[in-house]
Structure 1
Amino acid sequence: MTWDEKIKDFETFLKFERNFSDNTIDAYIRDIRKLQDYAEFDLENTGPLTITYENIQEYLYQLSKKKFSERSQARWISSIKSFFKYLVEDEVRDDNPATLLEGPKLGIYLPDTLSFDDIDKIIRAINTDTDLGQRNKCMIEVLYGCGLRVSELIDLKISNINFKESYLKVDGKGDKSRFVPLAKFTSNLIKTYLNTVRSKGKINKKHEDIVFLNSRGSAMSRVIVFIIIKELTEKAGIRKRISPHTFRHSFATHLLQNGADLRYIQEMLGHSSITTTEIYTHLKNEELRDVILNYHPRNKGE
């Protein structure tokens, strides 16, 4: 994956999930472009997935010698940390090379999740009287029911769905494929969408095997999925920062809360390392902490 691809995705994230102003987004993107230039010219085309903490540290050191203000230097660090935190959240990188820029203590990123009631509210906010509404409902149910990344959702192929054996073949990052079990509820929704909505619309020949299509008969874009979810979240009255990835986090968290083995969750999410999946145990620990604080007799006032 190139710098240009990931910077474009990061820009979408800042705009639609973080709701940053155009000026703030421009500043962040300019900062990352400077790091890109350094990586391509001084580090022999080192990409965003392979650049190291030491590389970034050296880059910042070289900049500091040019006597930029402390405020500018602080903004560079903020932009770089936000960019690589996004790459970790999007599961493009397993590690964050920018974590240590402000100090030696490692932090744990806990992703936002939705309760089942929140997901139900979002689903109910969809107007299923329209074809687009039925498509959107199916998309969200697949995101949540199968734990897909947004890139995997928009690339999902009809030929990779095995309704008889109840699984999806998902082409994940790094050209790795995995098989995800398909619940009967989700399977029926996909069948209904394919037979009653997708079949009657126009279909671009290049995208005949793609499951989710836009009104022009072409594959959906990440940006459109972001916008759809943002609008539905607002309509449902949920005041969290929700992105397509939030449904994936919720999928994993709800499986863990209901007793699923972490190794199975790792397989279904397509994580190459169990340490990436273990982030969800921290979410469970947070929940346990709240239970103790709220219900243990020693924590109740007299």
Structure 2
Amino acid sequence: MENYNSKLNELIKEMPFYVKDYYRSKRASAYSLSTLYRYLLEYRRFFQWLIDNRLIKARKIEEITLSDLEKLPKKDIEAFLMRFREELFTKNPNNDHQSTLQRALASLKGLYRYLADESEDENGNSYIERNVMSRVNLKKKEKTLAYRAAHLEDRLFLGTETNDFLKFVKEDYHKSLSKRQEVSFNKNKERDLAILSLFLASGLRISELDSVDMDNFNIENLTMRVWRKEGLFDSVSIAPFAKPYLENYLSIRKSRYPTPEDVEPLFLAWYAKKSARISNATISKIVNKYSAAFKIRVTPHMLRHTLATRLYQVTSSQLVVSHQLGHSSTQATDLYTHITNTELKDALNKL
């Protein structure tokens, strides 16, 4: 939370007054800090593009006026999205980047919707009347749940693979390392195993895991309190198989990552000769490297999908899965019913 607050404070300084108003409004609505941070990054990208391409008179982001945004033609916004797509494709030509573009557009639509419908000036009027963003859309990739499930299934560690994966990291991963690499691995081994096991035993999002503090973590009851994506504080249960890995990490946490008494993060890393809260980027690298060595490179979100699928296999309850994942409804868990659905295959085998 402190880390996001610091980053947000720096970003918000660059913004025009109406973005600051939007930010305050969403903070009051309990938007998560990680979500607001991503939104502000998208606004900075869009505003800087307008300046660089001289589509407005302003030379600094904070100088961009409401009139500048209101008068933007649709073609300029489409040009921004096309250029952004080109930049993404140049960095990674093997991905169509549609979801990244959708997120960027969604954040901009949210800002324009606030300015046109939710804001209020001293006269009680909205900041702008013309919402050009409402006319801009990206075609969504249309895929059935069955297609998504089939694509996802190979990236999950189902059945015994969850424990096999953790055992591989604990006992076999080091065999392929150089002596120098093995020194680094041994220094962080307990921490890395604790992180992997916690993902697989709880289904946390990466932003939820890295924000857990010591006083919100109960190893005896195998529970923890986290800030959910929607800005809600939630209590999350942990599957018992993760307990030995978490206990091993806690036993070396203070000696391996020495910190002052007031340092609260559960997971730490050694940065610039001192311990600090582990970053999202470091957590992603941990998951990437171990999963690639074991089976296939996956993201932390794939480990969340693994927990959800395994939990549905055991309970056949979308309500239980949605509660564990922190969803407000069971609609988001429909995907897991397709991954575990064997009835169709059994029927086809009988033909």
TM-score range, shorter chain: 0.5 to 0.7
1:270 Cα deviation (Å)?
0.8
Note the 1:99-248 alignment, pairs <5 A: 101-102=138-139, 108=145, 109-110=148-149, 111=152, 112-127=155-170, 130-195=186-251, 197-205=252-260, 208-215=263-270, 216-236=274-294, 238-239=295-296, 241-248=297-304
Please give the root-mean-square deviation of Cα atoms over the aligned residues, in Å.
4.4
Aligned equivalents of 2:99, 2:299: Cα separation in 1: 16
Report the counterpart of residue 309 of structure 2 in structure 1: 253
Aligned equivalents of 2:77, 2:169: Cα separation in 1: 49
Does structure 1 conserve the Cα–Cα contact (< 8 Å) formed by 2:85 and 2:101? no
Question: Could you tell me the percent identity over the aligned residues?
Answer: 19
1:220–1:181 CA distance, 2 compared to 1 (3 A): same
Structure 2, unpaired ranges of 5+:
1-32, 51-60, 90-95, 105-109, 111-133, 172-184
Q: What amino acid maps onto 1:6 in structure 2? A: R
1:282 Cα deviation (Å)?
3.1
Corresponding residue SS for 1:273: coil
1:192–1:279 CA distance, 2 compared to 1 (3 A): same
- Alignment match of 2:45 (pick from 33, 38, 62): 33
1:268–1:204 CA distance, 2 compared to 1 (3 A): same
1:124 Cα deviation (Å)?
3.0
**Alignment TM-score, normalising by the size of structure 2:** 0.56
Aligned equivalents of 1:191, 1:145: Cα separation in 2: 14
1:3 Cα deviation (Å)?
8.3
Select the structure with the greater relative contact order (CA < 8 A; seq sep ≥ 6).
1
1:132–1:76 CA distance, 2 compared to 1 (3 A): closer
Q: What amino acid maps onto 2:279 in structure 1? A: S
Structure 1, unpaired ranges of 5+:
10-28, 47-54, 88-92
Aligned equivalents of 2:101, 2:323: Cα separation in 1: 24
**Alignment TM-score, normalising by the size of structure 1:** 0.64
Q: Which has the larger radius of gyration?
A: 2
Aligned residues between the structures: 248
Aligned equivalents of 2:212, 2:307: Cα separation in 1: 18
Report the counterpart of residue 179 of structure 2 in structure 1: none
